[in-house]
């Protein structure tokens, strides 16, 4: 397509929109105490965003800037926490303030408590679109039973899966755009088949939502500390469970699998280039994972502050610096796994390299994660081959 043809096309019809992502830590406070969570939850130290008014000023400044207009068609605000629904009045205010701008929102929630007003606005805007995508999408963290009940308990150690599951069904009933996000740890690989079955049955109960699937992330931070026996046990349990899942997925018609690890996804994260994260004190960092580092470590990932005169220039500089080699897989070029999720922040933390971007993109320095994704790749190859021969 020529550039002029693309320009004249209605925004809604373009397939790949250029969207800049700003995750905002609305509050560090949370209603859950998830065992694997990279945030920690020492209640006495947790804060809310310092001034929501200044946040709105920053968003206006960003979307009105020539740099943003030249490079992006929409802004996505990730409503992040802690548990952002604790500040539901701020969420409502943000959605109302930017209702008619090319600003969309992604709400990241544990789905435990969505109050009446928040549910109302999510319902009111459910059919609104920005560049063909929903004005507000909600991601509910649900690991599937029994994993969810093992790791995602509330502050009082009570089980939460029934409430969260019901919440997902309510969203579906009200046609509010929702996706599920799951996490799995090496110790819980053995339960993945049950979690997969649970999420599949949830999907079947949904009347309107066709986008749910089982898409677990392996805990980025806890996998490097396994000893030899733990690693070998985890590998065996992963292989066994993937074969079990494959024996069900083999019957799925069409070109996509319900279990996302069997599809081909090797995208690299665009943190720093196409996304940044704003902390509760207004400082801006390369991505949301940086928000939970201790002060000294955090400083290395700091880009700017929402109140600085130079804030948009700082984002532009970062954008340009990170553009170099952004989709270069480096040492992974010759690896043929079909799917893997690489978290640059976790890589940086563990890297022995020197320069910032070298550490940030030290993709192979979590060898246990590589081993797990390689096991998945072997199973994926055989299921793809089976499909071809059908
Ligand atoms: C930190 S939470 C914040 C938003 C909200 N409280 C929630 O539970 O979704 C955002 C996401 O990070 C995921 N997460 C937490 N710790 C993780 C880890 N160690 N590895 C991978 N993902 C993790 C959670 O499961 C959740 O989906």
Q: Which of 42, 145, 161 is nearest to 111 (CA)?
A: 161
Q: Is 169 in the pocket of ligand 1 (CB under 6 A)?
A: no
Q: How confident is the model at residue 9 (pLDDT cuts 50, 70, 90)?
A: very low
Per residue in 367-376, pLDDT (tens digit) is 999 999 999 9
36 lines ligand 1 (CB under 6 A): yes
Atom 16 of ligand 1, residue of closest alpha carbon: 37
Asked whether the beta carbons of 20 and 275 are under 8 A apart, the reply is yes
pLDDT digit string, tens, across residues 304-349: 999 999 999 999 999 999 998 888 888 898 999 999 988 899 999 8
Give the Å distance between the CA of 37 and the centre of ligand 1. 6
179, part of any domain: yes
Instruction: Give the pLDDT score at 87.
Output: 98
Question: pLDDT by residue (tens digit) across 40-84?
Answer: 766 778 999 999 999 999 999 999 999 999 999 999 999 999 999
pLDDT of 10 higher than 80: no
Tell me whether residue 215 is in a domain.
Answer: yes
88-97 helix and 52-64 helix, angle to the nearest 10 degrees: 30
* 3 in a structural domain: no
Instruction: Report yes or no on 120 lying in a domain.
Output: yes
**Looking at the DSSP assignment, which residues form a beta bridge with residue 104?**
76
- Would the CB of 343 count as within 6 Å of ligand 1? no
For the Cβ of 109 lying below 6 angstroms from any atom of ligand 1, the answer is yes
Predicted confidence (pLDDT) at residue 13 exceeds the cutoff of 80: no
Residue whose CA is closest, atom 12 of ligand 1? 37
Query: How far, in Å, CA of 322 to CA of 373, rounded?
Result: 26
- Residue 206 sits in a domain whose CATH number is 3.20.20.70
Structural domain span for residue 84: 16-277
Which of 26, 34, 188 has most ligand 1 atoms within 8 Å of CB, for mutation? 34
Q: What is the pTM of this model?
A: 0.93
Which residue lies with its CA nearest to atom 23 of ligand 1?
37
Pairing status of strand 283-285 against strand 275-278: antiparallel
Region of 48 please: left (phi>0), alpha (psi -120 to 50) or beta.
Answer: beta
Atom 14 in ligand 1: residue holding the nearest Cα: 37
* Average pLDDT value for residue range 77-93: 97
Indicate which residue's Cα is closest to atom 15 of ligand 1.
37
The DSSP element (H or E) to which 85 belongs, if any, is: none
Cα of 10 from ligand 1 centre, angstroms: 36
110 CB under 6 A from ligand 1?
yes
N-term to C-term CA, the chain: 36
Q: What is the structure's pLDDT at 356? A: 93
Does residue 117 fall inside a structural domain? yes
**pLDDT the model gives residue 17:** 61
**Residue percentage of the chain with pLDDT more than 90:** 79
What is the spatial distance between Cα 379 and Cα 240, in angstroms, rounded to a whole number? Answer: 10
What is the mean pLDDT of the segment spanning 199-211? 91
Domain count, the chain: 1
């Amino acid at each position: 397509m020529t550039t002029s043809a693309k320009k004249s096309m209605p925004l809604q019809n373009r397939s790949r929109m250029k969207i800049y992502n700003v995750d905002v830590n609305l509050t560090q406070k949370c209603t859950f105490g998830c065992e694997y969570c990279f945030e920690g939850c020492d209640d006495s130290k947790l804060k809310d965003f310092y001034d929501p008014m200044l946040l709105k000023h920053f968003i206006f400044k960003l979307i009105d800037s020539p740099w943003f207009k030249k490079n992006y068609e929409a802004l996505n605000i990730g409503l992040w926490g802690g548990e952002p629904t604790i500040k539901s009045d701020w969420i409502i205010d943000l959605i109302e303030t930017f209702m008619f701008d090319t600003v969309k929102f992604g709400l990241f929630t544990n789905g435990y408590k969505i109050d009446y007003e928040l549910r109302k606005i999510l319902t009111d805007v459910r059919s609104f679109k920005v560049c063909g995508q929903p004005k507000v999408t909600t991601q509910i963290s649900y690991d599937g039973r029994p994993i969810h009940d093992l790791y995602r308990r509330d502050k009082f150690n009570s089980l939460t899966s029934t409430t969260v599951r019901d919440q997902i069904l309510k969203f579906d009933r009200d046609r509010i755009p929702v996706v599920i996000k799951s996490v799995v740890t090496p110790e819980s690989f053995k339960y993945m088949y049950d979690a997969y079955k649970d999420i599949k049955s949830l999907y079947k109960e949904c009347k309107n939502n066709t986008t749910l699937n089982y898409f677990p992330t392996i805990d980025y931070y806890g996998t490097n500390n396994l000893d030899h026996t733990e690693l070998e046990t985890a590998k065996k349990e992963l292989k066994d469970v993937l074969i079990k899942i494959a024996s069900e997925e083999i019957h799925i018609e069409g070109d996509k699998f319900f279990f996302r690890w069997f599809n081909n996804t090797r995208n690299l994260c665009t943190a720093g280039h196409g996304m940044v994260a704003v902390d509760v004190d207004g400082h801006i960092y390369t991505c949301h994972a940086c928000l939970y580092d201790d002060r000294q470590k955090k400083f290395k990932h700091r880009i700017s502050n929402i109140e600085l005169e130079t804030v948009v220039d700082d984002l532009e500089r970062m954008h340009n610096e990170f553009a170099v080699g952004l989709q270069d897989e480096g040492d992974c070029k010759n690896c043929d796994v079909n799917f893997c999720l690489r978290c640059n922040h976790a890589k940086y933390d563990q890297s022995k390299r020197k320069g910032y971007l070298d550490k940030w993109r030290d993709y192979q320095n979590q060898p246990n994660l590589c081993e797990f994704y390689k096991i998945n790749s072997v199973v994926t190859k055989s299921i793809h081959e089976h499909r071809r021969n059908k």
